[in-house]
Amino acid sequence: MLKFDKLSLNIPETTKPRVVVIGGGFGGINLVKKLKNKGFQIVMFDKQNYHGFWPLLYQVATAGLEPDAIAEPLRKLFDEDYDDFHFRLVRVTGVDPARKVVTTLIGELHYDYLVISTGTKANFFGNEQVQKFSFPLKTIPEALNLRSQLLQSFEQASITRDPVAQESLLNFVIVGGGPTGVEVAGSIAEMRKHVLPGDYPGLDFSRMKIYLIEGLDRVLPPMSPEASKKTHEYLEKMGILIRLNTLVENYDGETVTLKGGEQIRTQTVIWAAGVTGALIDGLPKEVVARGGRLLVDRYNQVEGFPGLFAIGDIALMKTDKYPNGHPGLAQPAIQQGQHLAKNLVRMVRNEKPEEFEYFDKGSLAIIGRSRAVADLPGNVHMGGFLAWVTWLFVHIYYLVGFRSKLIVLSNWAYRLFTYERGTRLIIRPFVRKDDKEAQEFVMKNELG
Ligand SMILES: Cc1cc2nc3c(=O)[nH]c(=O)nc-3n(C[C@H](O)[C@H](O)[C@H](O)COP(=O)(O)OP(=O)(O)OC[C@H]3O[C@@H](n4cnc5c(N)ncnc54)[C@H](O)[C@@H]3O)c2cc1C
């Protein structure tokens, strides 16, 4: 076993200005691409060794894509063509702005410029019970847990003779009617229609229920009312049971209790209801705003800390047009990363940095086969097939790496004609840590 005190970050000393980037997400990778060979030493820390394309994560969770289709190794993205670039697979635990150092479990590193691009994590609003039993969808391991859980539920439903247990296994509750919740609900509904009856001929899928629970008065609240209305219609047509203005009060692993009293028996609650900033310790609470985001000025500098920047989901930049900050989408992160890179070059040349201006390219959500909605610049709203084709092209265009584009495109084309989902594999069964009985079952049957 490696001992942490025997390890070191092993970053060469340099006379160049050192930029330390925490996070290889949309913000981080676009910053580094634009800083390529511009006279900096660049050090990137991430707790995973890949860049994840989260807009397609739900397809991994619902057996549409394998994880390698949506992930690109960071070392491959920033290969030997990048002079003086250093990646370290490590979690950053703290920052000390007074000494200008970042701390990790295997040592600390001095920075001249620090860019925090750590994104967000799931927010359970302090409800520990819900956190313990539900499935968040923010990382690839979480998506694989959910994929296993979905497939295991059908396997178990097909071998139980207990109608109550079967009901619970065939009920799926998705909490949060934002883009992720809607996309997951739509995708599970498509499985119910096209895939599952063939796989499990003995199961009656008219008994399988998919609930979508939203606290506000419409689905897709970040999008336009037109997009919400269309999406609501599409979801209902697909047989999804929508509860609006409804909050989840509790989930004990067996039953979801909604505020208002309704109870749903289920083994699977998918949590897509909220996120909070993935903060790094060491910054004062004055710079932490609503949603755990870091308050930054128009140059993405954390307020009051020269040389320390935050970009993407973790950053909250208040502007006249966006008084609550930019939306938590890939585009603001990409644009802030690119813009900050240009500003860093300006700063070392003693030129004046420029203020960030967000260019809204619109937003899209997919509900299922041939059904999507789009809000485009100029107050243009689209739905149906045209929006669906737009969604496909935009996602292929922004996917990182030619290999991923090719895999995703071929998977989608295959699925379009066959309705197949080739990745219905339980590679690593999901078993709750405290469920001894299930652990024993998996071990005895050598399932995992
Ligand atoms: C399921 C899902 C679906 C989405 N769908 C869409 C969509 O359809 N369209 C859209 O525009 N946006 C979508 N988003 C939002 C979009 O992915 C984010 O807005 C975007 O990823 C933000 O980029 P970022 O660089 O700020 O953070 P991220 O891309 O999340 O990257 C953060 C990185 O920081 C790393 N990190 C975090 N903490 C530490 C630490 N302490 N030490 C080291 N590394 C750390 C993480 O491992 C990660 O690699 C979706 C998000 C999710 C989760």
Q: How far is the CA of 3 from the centre of ligand 1 (A)?
A: 30
CATH topology match: 15-47+90-122+276-348 vs 128-273+370-438: yes
Q: How high is the mean pLDDT of the chain? A: 95
Atom index in ligand 1 nearest the CA of residue 332 equals: 19
pLDDT of residue 143: 97
The pLDDT assigned to 9 comes to 94
Query: For residue 361, what are its two tokens?
Result: 């390219």
Beta bridge partners of 288: 294
Taking Cα atoms as reference points, which of 52, 30, 116 lies closest to residue 339?
A: 30
Query: Average pLDDT for residues 403-426, to the nearest whole number?
Result: 87
Look at the block and give the residue holding tokens 């499985």. 191
pLDDT of residue 1: 67
Q: What crossing angle do the helices spanning 384-398 and 402-418 adopt, rounded to 10°? A: 150
Residue 265 in this model has a pLDDT that exceeds 70: yes
Would you list the domain boundaries of the chain? 15-47+90-122+276-348, 128-273+370-438
The whole-number pLDDT of residue 445 equals: 79
To test the pocket of ligand 1, the residue of 183, 300, 329 to mutate (highest count of ligand atoms within 8 Å of its CB) is 329
Mean pLDDT value across residues 232-246: 98
Q: State the architecture of 15-47+90-122+276-348 in CATH terms.
A: 3-Layer(bba) Sandwich (3.50)
Give backbone dihedrals phi and psi of 110, rounded to 5 degrees, phi first: -80, 145
Instruction: Give the pLDDT confidence score for residue 447 in this predicted structure.
Output: 79
pLDDT digits (tens, 9 = 90+) for 33-89: 999 999 999 999 999 999 999 999 999 999 999 999 999 999 999 999 999 999 999
Query: What six digits make up the tokens of 253?
Result: 């692993």
Query: Residue 441 — very low, low, confident or very high, per pLDDT cuts 50/70/90?
Result: confident
- Please tell me the distance from the alpha carbon of residue 116 to that of residue 312, in angstroms, as a whole number: 9
Residue of 72, 142, 183, 190 with catalytic role: 183
Give me the pLDDT at residue 103, please.
97
Q: Which amino acid is at 342?
A: K
Q: How far is the CA of 25 from the centre of ligand 1 (A)?
A: 6
pLDDT per position as a tens digit, 116-145: 999 999 999 999 999 999 999 999 999 999
159-163, 359-363, 434-438, range with the lowest pLDDT? 434-438
What CA–CA distance (Å, rounded) separates 122 from 137? 8
With a cut of 90, say whether residue 2 has pLDDT above it: no
**Confidence band of 259 (pLDDT split at 50, 70, 90):** very high
- Please give the Cα distance from 82 to 18 (Å, whole number): 14
Of 306, 282, 290, the C-alpha closest to 92 is: 282
Question: What six digits make up the tokens of 323?
Answer: 């008084």
**Could you give the CA distance from residue 188 to residue 26 in angstroms, rounded to a whole number?**
27
- Assigned fold of 128-273+370-438: FAD/NAD(P)-binding domain (3.50.50)
328 lines ligand 1 (CB under 6 A): yes
Over 90: is that where the pLDDT of 286 sits? yes
Determine whether the shortest distance from the Cβ of 118 to ligand 1 is under 6 A.
Answer: yes
pLDDT digits (tens, 9 = 90+) for 326-379: 999 999 999 999 999 999 999 999 999 999 999 999 999 999 989 999 999 999
